[in-house]
Chains A and B, each alone.
Chain A
Amino acid sequence: MTVYIVKRMLLMIPTLLGVAVLIFLLLRVVPGDVVEARYLGQGSQFTSQDLMDIERKKLGLDQPLWKQFTTWMWGIMRLDFGLSMWTGSPITEEIKLRFELSLQLAIMATVVATLLAIPLGILAAIKQDTWIDYAVRVFSIAGLAMPSFWLGILMILVMLIVFKWLPPMVFTSFWVNPWDNLAQLIWPALAVGYRYSAVATRMMRSAMLEVLREDYIRTARAKGLWLKLILSRHAMKNAMLPVITVVGLEFAFLLGGLVVTEQVFNLNGLGLLFVEAISRRDYTLTQALVLIVAAVFIFVNFATDIAYAWLDPRIRYR
């Protein structure tokens, strides 16, 4: 087990390095750079080539690619992401502000999703092939079908037209004013959480169906155990495993992938920061964001694998 953990941890390094190389090269293939985006983007034709070259030199863009890459990597190893090419302020600062919002939204959406998925999945599995099962499945497939940004627009519409009320549009930290904070974030969390619950519900249902056919469940029923007890003590625990994986991986994506929902709800999260960074050709900021999101994803992947082995003694890793 220890050997397996160490091996998996070591394997994370080349994957992350691959992500770093890929995003580094991708960005430099994109036409235009931050200097052009800043000076030519606003339609001023008076910028001279010399001025732009000076700017580039200041940002280190005149260096050969391998040198830019090693400088960046050297910084990462000291946990220093460098300065944003657009604003000039430290990237850690830029990200810290947005990270709080994105993290909170991801957690809230996960809570919404889990609260929906576990009971619905279990219900559908116990009542397999009845109208309840069909209703749950249609509800969850509908959740996958509706774009969460559209669900967000609808929510805002209903609140506006029916209740003549709009959630606060400026972010307040949970620690400053929890009420305002929740009043703003609960809506995107519901919109995203519903969609995300769909995946988890389906997983819960099929895992539960599989577990319910196991011998130990039959044994438990044969000895006359109460159904509720069988479900909560024996079945649910084992059916939770694949659900944990799904929830974990989705969580990692929620951190950086809510680009569109953030736009609808006017939230300044990591997703919107990413779109801004890439359209401004802010190489350093984009690189840092991608690397962070990928690192979270890879780590969650790793953690769920370990949790699997931990929770299910039948699984043994080499």
Chain B
Amino acid sequence: MAVTKEALDTLARPERARWLQAIVDFTWQRPLGAIGAAIIIVMSVVALSAHLLAPFDALVTDYDAMLAAPNAKHWLGTDAYGRDVFSRVIFGSQTALIVGLGASFIGATIGALIGVASAYFGGRVDMIVQRIMDVLISFPLIILALAVVAILGTGVFNVVLAIAIPMIPRCARVVRSSALSVREMPYVDAARAAGFTDARIVLRHMLPNVMAPYLIMLTAFLGQAILLEASLSFLGLGVQEPVAAWGLMLRGAAVEFAETAPWMAIFPGVAISLAVFGFNLFGDSLRDALDPKLRTQ
């Protein structure tokens, strides 16, 4: 009787319960990944409801409370213009997420497309594409990003592009190596025999089968993109004042008044580290889960 009831329960269990179970399993097996996911979720909620959570407008200056130490009104103190650091950290999460998600999505997707196409066509096309990727990879990440910013100019969207471009060859290379084995699969031959176009085979048949390396690269990029955005903004070549961005908050006055107002230099850095930490923890666990070769026994 009990068995039957249990079986019935399983059958009747709604869709939601099943993915709830999946989440519980993931949390149990990969506690670090779950911590990372929790950080990402909190950060996303904060970013989405920044206008509700932040006690002050991120841009409003208060010249009576310049460089105020953390107090009951300004929890994390104020900056050199009297802007509330806590509110700016909260609004900064929006910039970090937009740039991080945008850059890694664009970079990984274009990279994956190039990688798969290069593996599919093979021969001379592959050879030429790989040489071009070699050239792009020989630029240090930040140098290529700087060069792109110099051409396009600063601002959020240009920063997204500047960070995405150096990521393209890195993703292309990894995805290509997986796509090489996918190309040998019988279903690709079948698709070719059925007379499908190259574009259709690449997009519909091969791309879905390199999802694992694609997702791994995407999540690995997320943290890096947030870091790179912070570095560019810190140099004054990324997001521009008065937009609230963590790297920007560490620039200029934060260093100048570091001794008297250390809160300006500490909290945005904590925010960057925590965000990247979360993405890296989650990305690592995802890689372990998706890549059987790297899975630890």
Contact = CB atoms under 8 A, between A and B. Distances in A.
Contact of A293 (B140, B231, B272): B140
Interface stretch (A97-105, A112-120, A228-236, A257-265): A257-265
Contacts of B234: 147, 149, 260, 263
A278 B250 contact: no
B150 interface: yes
B239 interface: no
Given A150-B250, A153-B250, A30 B258 contact: no
A15 B138 CA distance: 9
| Chain A interface bracket (under 10, 10 to 19, 20 to 34, 35 or more) | 35 or more
A23 to B, nearest CB: 7
Where chain B touches its partner, the secondary structure class is helix
Interface string B176-203: 0000000000000000000000000000
A302 to B, nearest CB: 11
B148 to A, nearest CB: 8
Interface in A270-314: 274-275, 278-279, 290, 293-294, 297-298
Given A157-B258, A259-B231, A274-B146, A18 B135 contact: yes
Interface of A: 14-15, 18-19, 22-23, 26-27, 29-31, 128-129, 134, 137-138, 141-142, 144-147, 149-150, 153-154, 156-157, 160-161, 206, 209, 253, 256-257, 259-260, 263-264, 274-275, 278-279, 290, 293-294, 297-298
30 contacts: A14-B131, A15-B134, A18-B131, A18-B132, A18-B135, A19-B135, A22-B135, A29-B151, A141-B277, A142-B277, A144-B276, A145-B227, A145-B274, A145-B275, A146-B273, A147-B269, A147-B272, A149-B231, A149-B234, A150-B250, A153-B258, A154-B266, A157-B262, A157-B266, A206-B294, A278-B147, A279-B150, A293-B140, A297-B140, A298-B138
Interface of B: 32, 131-132, 134-136, 138-143, 146-147, 150-151, 223, 227, 230-231, 234-235, 237, 247, 250, 254-255, 258-259, 262, 265-266, 269, 272-277, 280-281, 284, 294, 296
